[in-house]
Amino acid sequence: MAALIAMLAVAVTTAAGGGRAPGASWSSPGLAAGAGEAVASAAPLEAPGPRHKPTVVYDPVRRRLLIFSGLRGMSCYADVWEMPTDAPGRWRRVATRGDGPAGRFGHTAIYDPVRDRMIVFGGSVEGRVPTAELWELLLSHRATWRRMTPAGTPPTARFAHTAVYDPVRGRMIVFGGFDGRFENDVWALSLGTLPSWSRLVPAGTPPQVRDAHVAIYDPARRRMVVQGGFDGVAALDDTWALSLSGPLRWHPIDCAQSPPPRRQHAAVYDAARDGMVIFGGNDGTDLAYGDVWFLPLAGDPSWRRMDREGPGPAPRWGPALARDPVRDCLYVFGGTRPDGWFNDTWRFEPEPEPRWTQVP
C-alpha cells in the first residue's frame, strides 16, 4: 500500500510545463490535494472541468468525442461529456442512465463498434484505490451504464495501463500498468455474447515493466504498438510491437530516432498517414512536453517531430488525445501541470502545414 500511495503522489506531482516549447521546467514543488486553479486560457462557457488523465473515444456513429472521468486534486469526476466534431469546442454533458462507475483516473476506454458501446476498465477510484472493475456505456440505449461481470480470472486491480480494441478477433487487449508493482503482463477480454477474461503469454522477450505508457492498434499489420512509460526508475523512450495475428509475439521496434523519454503522454493511430502519433507527457521529473511526434508504421521506423514551434497548447501531462477521421485532425483536451489544471481544447491539423488552433 505504501508503494501505491507513493505512485499516486508521483502521478499528481512530478511533471511541469508552460509556454510553447517542447519542454519547460517549473520550480513548483507540485500539486497537493486541492491545490492549483484552472490554467488561464480561453475555454467555452460549458466544458468539462479541468482534469488529468481522462479517457476519450471517438464515436463514429454520431461523429463526436466522448470524455469520461479524470482527476483533479485528490478527487475524480464521474461525468461523461461529448463534443461533436462538426462543432469543435461545443461541449455538452451527457445525461447517462443507470448506476455508473465512480470517478477515477488512469483507467482505459475503448469504443466497441459492433455493439456501439464504450468499455471502461480499471483505474484508480477517486485517485486512491486501484480497481479491476469493467463497465460498458451503451450508446444506443440512451447512454446507459452497466457493470460487466465476464467469466474467467480478471487482471489484477490496476491503473496507468493501456488497452486497445482488436477488431479481427473481437476483443480488448490490456497491457502493463501499476497494481502495487509495475507490470508487463498481457490480457484479453473477449467481447462476444459471453465476455471472458484470459491471460495471454506471448513469445519473445517482452518489454520491461511499466506504467503511464501509450499504445495503439495497428490495423494494417494487426499488432499493438507500445511506446514509452515509466519503469519505477526512469521514463522510457522505447517502442514495441505485439503481433496479434497468428502466434502472439513481442518484437522491439528499433527506431533510428526516438522522442525524448516520457510518460503520461497520449497517443492515437493516424490512418491517413499510417502511423502512430504521440503528444505531451513528462520526463519523469519536472520537465513537461507540448510536442507532437510521428512514427511511420511501414518501412524504416524513425520518429520525427510533426509540429512546429509557434502558438499551441502549453506543455502538459495527462491530456486526452483523439483523431477525427472525417476532417483528418487531432484534438487535445485537458491535462495538468504543477500550477494548475487544463480544460482547454486544441485542434491539430497535420496538413497542408502543421497548425494548432484553440477551439472554439
Per-residue pLDDT tens for 61-85?
Answer: 999 999 999 999 889 999 999 999 9
What lies within 8 Å, CB to CB, of 160 at 6+ separation is 7, 11, 106, 177, 178, 211, 212
Q: What is the topology classification, in CATH, of domain 2-359?
A: Neuraminidase (2.120.10)
Bridge partners, residue 137, by sequence: 118, 145
CA distance 16 to 288: 5
Which pLDDT does position 198 carry in this prediction? 98
Q: What value does the mean pLDDT of the chain take?
A: 89
Confidence of residue 310 (pLDDT cuts 50, 70, 90): confident
Between residues 43 and 125, the one the model is more confident about: 125
pLDDT band at 45 (very low <50, low <70, confident <90, very high): low
Name the pairing type of β-strands 329-337 and 287-289: unpaired
Which three-class secondary structure state does DSSP give residue 72? Answer: strand
Where does the pLDDT of residue 338 fall: very low under 50, low under 70, confident under 90, or very high at 90 and above?
confident
* 97 grid coordinates: 442512465
The per-residue pLDDT for range 14-38, each reduced to its tens digit, is 222 233 333 433 322 222 223 344 4
Q: H helices of 177-248, where?
A: none
Strand boundaries in 179-319, DSSP class E? 182-190, 196-200, 214-218, 223-230, 235-243, 249-252, 266-270, 275-279, 287-289, 292-296, 304-305
pLDDT at 29: 24
**What local confidence, expressed as pLDDT, does residue 186 receive?**
98
Cα angle: 222, vertex 300, 183; to 5 degrees: 50
> Based on the number of CB atoms within 10 Å of its own CB, is 69 exposed (0-12), middle (13-18) or buried (19 or more)?
buried
pLDDT of residue 339: 84
Annotate 290-333 with DSSP letters as a single string.
--EEEEESSSS---EE-S-SSS-PPP-BS-EEEEETTTTEEEEE
- pLDDT for 285 equals 86
The predicted-structure confidence for 229-267, as pLDDT tens digits, reads as follows 999 999 999 999 999 998 999 999 999 999 999 999 999
Look up cell 464504450; give the residue.
118
pLDDT band at 271 (very low <50, low <70, confident <90, very high): very high
What is the model's pLDDT at position 19? 34
Angle made by CA atoms 223, 170, 64, in degrees to the nearest 5: 90
Q: What percent of the chain has pLDDT over 70?
A: 88
Residue range 108-150, pLDDT digits in tens: 999 999 999 999 999 999 878 999 999 999 999 899 999 999 9
Predicted pLDDT of residue 164: 98
Q: Is the pLDDT of residue 197 over 60?
A: yes
Determine the pLDDT at residue 37: 46
Whether the predicted pLDDT of 320 surpasses 60: yes
Grid cell at residue 332: 487535445
Domain extent listing, the chain: 2-359
